[in-house]
Amino acid sequence: MHLRTLTLRGFKSFASATTLHFEPGINAVVGPNGSGKSNVVDALSWVMGEQGAKTLRGGNMADVIFAGTSSRPPLGRAEVSLTIDNSDGALPIEYTEVTISRTLFRAGGSEYAINGSSCRLLDVQELLSDTGMGREMHVIVGQGRLDSVLQATPEDRRGFIEEAAGVLKHRRRKDKAVRK
């Protein structure tokens, strides 16, 4: 499984539709300060269901929508689509290519879709939950976040690894069952 493309439309500084193409292996996004590298990483978290405006470096969720510049008016919606190569079947879905999309409207309301069919946030989370991607993920380490990983307690560090390995879901289920 690997990321194939990421398309941003009205997301943060990407007012016009912009598609990034990824190859298997290591990919690098380079550019001058303020050119939007971190915004690309934010878009990746966002399309996979990130709910925390702070994690996305904003005050509230609408801050992900292109806010306008001196030469360009603000936009009414942000849209991000992520296409994943699933030819190894790592995602539990019968498609060799899977596109996850998320749209947020300034007027309120948001939408998720998997391969063009609208779905719930939960469906996106379930789809990604065994891959080490998605919700509460620790596979994306933001600028300045490295310190908190390095200085984490052994328990926290185990949590990071368990999340990335896809074990945490089972631990949560077990804890819930034991509490009953």
Q: Which segments are annotated as binding site for ATP?
A: 32-39
**If binding is defined by CB under 5 A, does position 38 make contact with Mg ion?**
yes
Q: For residues 107-136, which are near ligand ATP according to CB under 6 A?
A: none
The single residue listed with the structure tokens 């398309």 is 7
> Is residue 45 part of the contact set for ligand ATP (CB under 6 A)?
no
DSSP code per residue over 109-144: -EEEEETTEEE-HHHHHHHHTTTT-STT--S---TT
* Nearest alpha-carbon partner for 126 in 42, 43, 47, 48: 48
36 binding partner (options Mg ion, ligand ATP, none; Cβ < 5 to 8 Å by kind): ligand ATP
Instruction: Give the C-alpha separation, 48 to 28, whole Å.
Output: 20
* Interface residue with ligand ATP, options 33, 60, 151, 153 (CB under 6 A): 33
As measured in angstroms, the least distance from the Cβ of 80 to Mg ion is 17
**Overall size of the chain counted in residues:** 180
Distance CA 102, CA 111 (A): 6
Show the tokens assigned to 15.
Answer: 């007012």
Nearer Cβ to Mg ion, position 113 or 140? 140
Stretch 46-85 residues interacting with ligand ATP (CB under 6 A): 63, 65-67
Chain residues in the site for ligand ATP (CB under 6 A)? 12-13, 31, 33-39, 63, 65-67, 143
